[in-house]
Amino acid sequence: MSCVEQLRKIVSRVLTDEPMAGHTTLGVGGPADYFVEVADCDELCLLMKYIASAGLPWMALGDGANILVSDRGIRGVVIHLGEGFERIAVDGNVITAGSAARISRVADVAAKHALSGLEGAGTVPGSVGGAIVMNAGTHRGYIDEMIESVCVVTESGEKRTLSREQCGFAYRDSRFVGDKSLIITTATFALRPGDGKAIEEHLESVRRHRSETQPQGKSAGCFFKNPPNASAGELIEQAGGKGLREGGAEVSPIHANFIINTGSATASDLRNLAERVRAMVRAKHGIELEYEVRLVGEW
């Protein structure tokens, strides 16, 4: 039986040579050999067992909000978690959310239940799973501060629960960045009771700050991590990077840490421009910017 036939026996939706441009907020990226959508955790376990037995490369995809996929695309299987992973349940001060749920939706549910703690992380684009991998957040707080535990499926198809400590959180980092053997399925947040109206206003003010200081359109959010005690956007602006272009890629004139697709960019345009910006910051400030966006696929 062929690989596609095997995959179709396990999961309902299997696409071949699926262009990744439609699955990323940057709107670029070549084809994935196999793009599969998984309905629930049991299906995911079966899928991982098959992938392991067939020795196929794989990667999990959240909202595609923080990745730059190469123009040549991705070899192997891209696993997208479907609606079954979008549930959000509230029990007292604890919220359990599927990893495919939008983190901003979880924050809104928390606010409705007068639960505080997600005002910082709950304003960034992306899914719960993606936000955990990247330890997403803003100056007002990061997602790891509220995590109680994270449920995963391993690459051998077993379910496991990790404590917050086992997740290895740091600034814009977690064990899931380096340890590619785990797929996040749900997360549990231990929140604090608060004043619902004040929480909603807080969320609103963080969202307003974002919309006033960050560009709309096709981007992956901030391209680089902030170096210790510095702002990557400010360093890039001081080095003269604002407004620079390469093909269809542009350093946003609004916020210099956003490298945007003006419509016709390729992944290579975006990467080449990012490298030019890094070189400018190195020359001007002697600082090596680190990518926050994850580069995936065949470069």
Residue numbers at the binding site for ligand EPU (CB under 6 A):
124, 136, 138-139, 210, 213, 221-222, 225-226, 231-234, 237, 255-257, 292
Minimum Å gap between C-beta 271 and ligand EPU is 17
Minimum Å gap between C-beta 63 and ligand EPU is 12
Determine the Cα–Cα distance for residues 20 and 66; give it in Å rounded to an integer.
Answer: 13
Pick the closer one to ligand EPU by CB: 70 or 104.
104
Minimum Å gap between C-beta 45 and ligand EPU is 31
Pick the closer one to ligand EPU by CB: 189 or 258.
258
Taking alpha carbons only, the member of 288, 252, 289, 253 closest to residue 270 is 252
Q: Which residues lie below 8 Å from residue 87, measured CB to CB, with a gap of 6+? A: 96, 97, 98, 101
Minimum Å gap between C-beta 214 and ligand EPU is 6
Residue type, 155: E
Strands (E), the chain: 13-19, 31-38, 58-61, 67-69, 74-81, 88-91, 94-98, 115-116, 137-138, 141-142, 147-154, 159-163, 182-190, 192-193, 245-246, 249-251, 259-261, 294-296
Pick the closer one to ligand EPU by CB: 24 or 96.
24
Pick the closer one to ligand EPU by CB: 99 or 226.
226
Taking alpha carbons only, the member of 24, 292, 60 closest to residue 172 is 292
Minimum Å gap between C-beta 176 and ligand EPU is 16
Pick the closer one to ligand EPU by CB: 138 or 154.
138
Query: Closest residue (Cβ) to ligand EPU?
Result: 221
